Amino acid sequence: MLKQSSIRLTILLALIVSVIAAGCSQTPKESANAAKEKDQLVVAVGAEPEGGFDPTTGWGRYGSPLFQSTLFKYDDKMSVVNDLATGYELSADGLLWTVNIRKDVKFTDGNPLTAADVKYTYETAAGSGSAIDLSNMKSVDAVNDTTVKFTLKEPQSTFLQMMLATGIVPKHAHGKDYSQKPLGSGPYKLVQWDKGQQLIVEANPDYYGTKPYFKKLTFLFLTEDAAFAAAKAGKVDVSYIPAAFSKQQVPGMRLEAVRTVDNRGIVFPYVKSGGKTKDGFPIGNDVTSDIAIRKAINTALDRKALVQGVLEGHGTPAFTVNDGLPWYNPSSVVPDADPESAKKMLADAGWKDTNGDGILDKGALKAEFTLLYPSNDVTRQSLAIAVADKIKSIGINIKVDGKSFDEIKNLMYSSAVLLGWGSNDPTEMYNIYNSKYAGVEYYNPGYYNNPAVDDYMNKALRATNTKDAMEFWKKAQWDGTTGLSAKGDAPWAWLVNIDHLYLVKDNLDIGKQRIHPHGHGWPVTDNIEEWKWRNE
């Protein structure tokens, strides 16, 4: 078996080398010379985007759009700063956003970027039917070449997040094949894309911002195993790896652990059983609809132990969907790893073990339910098993079951599910807790409903200044009496935030990374202009 593994690894590395060499159209000697160039990097930092590189259909929402510029961006402290924009004004009624943009910006084909391109981008994104929700945008107008006016139907404090995440595309060159051949004004331009293998990009010489140190980047699309093997063989400068590989030393590389809100948690059916979705799937669960069950689980969980045992220490305990972000409410955190308090909660709510089988009951109802997880996700499987084992000690029997997402989407309204979220946009909290999204895709499968929470989140959305919006988002989590957090209704039991782990060449500086969102896209490249060799 060892000999076969060595053969497979040798073949794998040979393929990686051949992919890089073929993509660069160089001889082996030229390829070796190119690898020594200090202004070039080879990285394996994420999956190939299935939909290509078109911001109007979602590219760039989980990391830098790379090829395109956005109106605004986050700095490493999660403060909003200008990108294309030079500033904005918001009308007193919150309906009119006036954004001024730079005069010195060109697309990589030499054409100037003007307000007309911004208008075109947002109108196209609004009609794309993708995850970009611009339904509240009434109109967008190019007043002149450097001024754009967005008119909303209702005030929307999170409209700023739309301007942080939507890359601007050229009106004159945005066609059906744009996603495969993107053209923009960002720090890099696409040179070559070999589907399923690699992407080669070069620095944009006309970029208006900080000039990238690295003139050429090669992105390899590798599985986690292959990316780790490439790092060990010295074939990549940066490689994303799972926690399972984190304890293995790779000579010449260090491990960078980036804090995230890439969380994993359990969403509970919030209502009693008996209902049906429009497609006929059962809604509700008589056990998890009991708030004492949900609160007891949140209290008994040992989140630090989950981080250490499942994530090899590379993560943080999760208590909300937005830990550490500007709209996070730290007062919503509950003490955990306290099984005795959890047992008291259950006893006070009438749960008892009347037959001595170790499982509590209340009348004819036993304290047991099914917890589903995606069967192809080892981390979620491990979390589910660890949770079930821990919760068994307080008298609740959790039956862990791995299913495909096709199966889960039909069962998630009546069974608990281990899901993952995490975004640098408070709209995500709105989507997964608001009652209007009950039963809509994966947003609120538990049918959670609290009018006070809905009201706070609606007020946060409609606020006309950031300060008021933040206060309403925080009150939705916990206002001292109620809220969507574990201290309130506990419709979720958040477990962990998973660190994003990268093997990085010892002398390569990847800058100060901000909190990463859920693991779609390439969030590590969000500050790509800051990357450089140390001591240069």
Give the pLDDT of residue 77: 83
Please identify, among 184, 217, 240, the residue that sits at the C-terminal boundary of a domain.
184
The answer to whether residue 62 is domain-embedded is no
Within-domain flag for 59: no
**Domain edge (last residue) among 184, 201, 217:** 184
Q: Are 163 and 133 in contact (CB under 8 A)?
A: no
- For 497, list phi and psi in degrees, rounded to 5: -105, 125
Strand partners, 365: 362
Closest CA to 61 of 118, 130, 107: 130
Q: What's the pTM value of the predicted model, to 2 decimals?
A: 0.85
Residue 157: predicted pLDDT: 93
In a domain, 300, yes or no: yes
Pair (383, 309) in one structural domain: yes
The reply to whether 324 falls in a domain is: yes
Q: Which residues contact 269 (CB under 8 A, 6 or more apart)?
A: 283, 284, 285, 288, 289, 413, 414, 415, 416, 445, 446, 447
Strand pairing class (40-44; 216-220): parallel
Asked whether residue 116 falls in the same domain as residue 245, the answer is no
58 occurs within a structural domain: no
Task: Write the DSSP assignment of 353-402 as a string of letters.
Answer: -SSSSS--EETTEESEEEEEEETT-HHHHHHHHHHHHHHHTTT-EEEEEE
Domain region containing 107: 68-184
The confidence score (pLDDT) of residue 62 equals 78
**Residue 147 falls inside a structural domain:** yes
Residue whose token pair is 């994420």: 46
Q: Is residue 133 located within the same domain as residue 192?
A: no
Please check whether residues 423 and 533 belong to one and the same domain: no
Same domain, 134 and 160: yes
Overall number of domains in the chain: 3
Q: Is 340 found in the same domain as 282?
A: yes
If asked whether residues 76 and 33 sit together in one domain, one would say: no
Task: Give me the average pLDDT of each 10-residue run along the chain (536 residues).
Answer: 40 46 46 61 93 92 88 89 96 96 96 98 89 89 98 95 94 96 97 96 95 96 94 96 91 96 97 96 98 98 97 96 95 97 98 96 97 94 98 98 96 98 92 95 96 98 93 98 98 97 96 87 91 86
Q: Which of 187, 225, 180, 219 is nearest to 203 (CA)?
A: 187
Give pLDDT, residue 34. Answer: 45
Helix, strand, coil shares of the chain, percent, nearest 5, are: 30, 25, 45
Q: Are residues 530 and 458 in the same domain?
A: no
Same domain for 477 and 444: yes
- CATH no. for residue 252? 3.40.190.10
For residue 461, is it within any domain?
A: yes
Kindly state whether residues 156 and 200 are assigned to the same domain: no
Element (H, E) at 241: strand 238-241
Residue 436 and residue 366 share a domain: yes
Q: What is the pLDDT of residue 521?
A: 81
Answer whether residue 163 is part of any domain. Answer: yes
Strand ranges (DSSP E) for 135-231?
137-144, 147-152, 188-194, 198-203, 216-220
Q: What is the CATH number for 394?
A: 3.10.105.10
One domain, residues 282 and 352? yes
Q: Are strands 275-276 and 40-44 parallel, antiparallel or unpaired?
A: unpaired
pLDDT of residue 192: 97
- Residue 491 has a pLDDT of 98
